[in-house]
A and B are shown apart, each in its own frame.
Chain A
Amino acid sequence: MIIDVFHLPESQIELKLKLIEKVENFKFNFIDISKEPYNITKNCEIIIFEEEYSYISSVDTFDNIIKLYEVFPAVIIITAGRDMFNVVRWMRKGASDCVWIGDFTHEILKNSIRGSLQYVSAKKIGVNKDFRVEDEDFNYSHQKIIIPTNYDWNSLEDNKYYDMVLMMISFYLDKDAIGRYSEINIEKIFDKIKEEINSIVKRFSGQLWFWHNNSGMFTFYFGDCINCATLASIYIFNQLFLIYIENLKLNKLIDFKISLHYGRAFYHKKDTENITSDMLNSIVHIQNQYAEINSLYITDAIYNSLSTRIFSLFTYVGEFEHKKIYRYNMQSENS
């Protein structure tokens, strides 16, 4: 796996890392902080950043570097000082680890990178597929999906952009069903379906954002939101069969579609009718123009960050609006 290393001019860490590179399966892309423009690895998931003197003196450079990446990578900070408050500041900034340059040994860096991989999954950032294949046991054991329990949806502010997963679910009644059920019954059925899905989504730390007629939009933001949302969607996909027959006692199944996309979405708790964002448009387009009925689709923004425990449940089916689309089919490699 490629790790971008942002180092100070004439830094010692380039030498140290090159020694590690020979032993481990890591490949380092060394970038001198003083020489812009930076030749970064676009989809890099872990970066190492060498601090100049302290957090204060380096944070602006750090911010500029982070903006270059499509998805916030896991960050290992190499620091010269041992000031605890300095470390705390970096961790608050989103760093996954802070290593003192004096402690910089092969073992410490290896553990830091491996620890950051776990952090990656907790921060919704996946590891690339090549790495998954190289050490299957390690990847499987370290990619256990953790569903967050301590979160507060009220911490999200209105009229701001957030990196989140949107899950869209739509239901389609055929013409016969419209004749078979009264309008009130159809409303009751959709209400019950909404209630059941919402209770599942909550178990996976998501929330119902809005529901219009036969479609609902759910959001996942906290913890490993990509994997939590994907798990929730798989569970809903399979559970809908039971919801229809066991809970709703329907004698005909209702067609549905589920689509998932991850990206930066404009958020407002209540004023959902006036919200527009590329993210929202994308998922609506996928759902309405691409998805087939009784199917679950995810975009590459989701697929690339899936845990090794579930990524084999999806297969590539094509491209739509410059996004690779994958479909859930449960034809797992190991089944």
Chain B
Amino acid sequence: MGISKLKRLLSDAISRAFMTQDIQLFGREIDKNLDLYELTGFPRGCSIPRKDAADQIVDYFFNTKRISHLLELIIKVHKFGFKGEKVIIHNINHIIKEMNECGYQYKSDLEKVVFSESSGKRTDWGFLEEGKSYNFCFISIDICGNSKLVRKYDSYHIKETYKNFKNLITKCILSRNGRIWSWEGDGGLVAFLLDDFVNNAVFTSIDILNSLIIFNATENFLNEDINIRIGINAGQAEYKKSTNLINSDSIELTKEIEKKHTEKSTISISRHTYQYVNALIREFMVEKEINGLSVYQLKLPIWNKINNCEGK
């Protein structure tokens, strides 16, 4: 059951679909240095039985934690063939079913096998690899004047208000496939990766600012409105499982934009990220120099800008 059944199904599929020399080529799609003789221990020149070759290759990718790559390749081969030849993986449905039971899921839009998120969202979207660099769009969010608020109000009211605030943020972020990577009570770092990730970050930020008005009127336990600052910047970072330890120049810049170059209740976007923002939203952004750095600023209500432009 589980992993051993999945391994058995994969090995069966590979040994039925390929000749031994093709099994090596198949494995080299994932690891270009793969050598079946080395793996199996058969002397060079000897022919390796297909079943042994398939078993070894499956074991190898399981042991090197590249199971998702192997599953991805099997599905891809079944769909598109291999080296120009049509290949039928006879037990593909069984493999997919067992794969799902083992906590993996094939995402056709990404053409990737990812860890299933059915039991909760994962900070790696199910497929990021430790130590690899990816392009993200980061949002840094912070409650303005947090230390003053903490001094002014008792811990119960602060705790309840901040808990509600985080719930609001989480809802806006998850609805656009973002992930909270670190959170320290009054704010944190959010990452967007898939789809139209820069625009998703901008949409989320606008949504948060708008939802904050409702939050302040209905869920805020303090005797004053909570105001926030949002900084947005796109760039690279090396993924780590402990997401709160992830750091990069891009993340640093995002935090710096939010802390030093963003006014209260506004969103600041770095200059180089601006070019990836939806053209229509760009029309509503204002270039502004704040503390020596030029950023693009967005604030609510966005419609005020139209009306002001039209001189109404």
Contact = CB atoms under 8 A, between A and B. Distances in A.
Given A242-B203, A251-B280, A335-B264, A146 B214 contact: no
A241 B283 CA distance: 12
A204 B51 CA distance: 64
Interface string A127-154: 0000000001100110011110000000
B203 A246 contact: yes
Contacts of B223: 136-137, 140-141
Given A246-B203, A330-B304, A231 B281 contact: no
Nearest to A139: B223
Interface in B204-261: 206-207, 209-211, 213-214, 216-221, 223-225, 227
B302 A238 contact: yes
B278 A237 contact: no
A305 B110 CA distance: 52
A294 B307 contact: yes
- How large, as a class, is the contact surface on chain B? 20 to 34
B156 interface: no
- Which of A237, A238, A335 has most chain B Cβ within 10 Å? A238
Nearest to A235: B214
A245 B224 contact: no
Contacts of A182: none
B150 interface: no
Given A145-B217, A235-B213, A328-B301, A241 B206 contact: yes
Contacts of B280: 245, 250-253
Contact of A227 (B203, B217, B219): B217
A144 B264 contact: no
B39 interface: no
Contacts of A241: 206, 284, 302-303
Given A144-B218, A334-B224, A329 B206 contact: no
Contacts of A334: 224-225
Contacts of B213: 231, 234-235, 238, 310, 313, 330
A307 interface: yes
A231 B304 contact: no
B277 to A, nearest CB: 11
Interface string A220-260: 00000001000100110111011001100011110000000
A237 B214 contact: no
B65 interface: no
Nearest to B304: A329
B210 A238 contact: yes
B218 A147 contact: yes
Interface string A274-289: 0000000000000000
B258 to A, nearest CB: 17
A319 interface: no
A64 B244 CA distance: 66
A96 to B, nearest CB: 21
Nearest to A313: B213
Interface string B169-212: 00000000000000000000000000000010001001101110
A157 interface: no
Q: Is the interface of B mostly helix, strand, loop or mixed?
A: helix
B300 interface: yes
- Which of A145, A231, A241, A292 has most chain B Cβ within 10 Å? A241
Contacts of A147: 218
A204 to B, nearest CB: 9
Interface in A7-46: none
B217 A231 contact: yes
A295 interface: yes
B58 to A, nearest CB: 43
Given A241-B206, A292-B312, A330 B217 contact: no
A309 B210 contact: no
Contacts of A227: 217
B301 A307 contact: no
- Which of B217, B227, B264, B302 has most chain A Cβ within 10 Å? B217
B293 interface: no
A272 interface: no
A207 to B, nearest CB: 19
B15 interface: no
A199 interface: no
B145 to A, nearest CB: 11
B30 interface: no
B124 to A, nearest CB: 25
Given A137-B223, A330-B301, A245 B281 contact: yes
B227 A309 contact: no
B307 A292 contact: yes
Nearest to A140: B223
A260 to B, nearest CB: 15
Given A231-B213, A293-B312, A335-B265, 8 more contacts: A231-B214, A238-B206, A246-B199, A292-B307, A293-B307, A295-B303, A328-B301, A330-B213
8 tightest Cβ-Cβ pairs between the two chains A and B: A238-B210, A137-B223, A294-B303, A309-B217, A140-B223, A145-B217, A241-B302, A141-B223
23 contacts: A136-B223, A144-B217, A145-B217, A231-B214, A235-B210, A235-B213, A237-B301, A238-B210, A238-B301, A239-B210, A241-B284, A242-B207, A245-B203, A245-B278, A250-B280, A252-B280, A253-B306, A295-B307, A307-B217, A310-B213, A329-B304, A330-B301, A335-B225
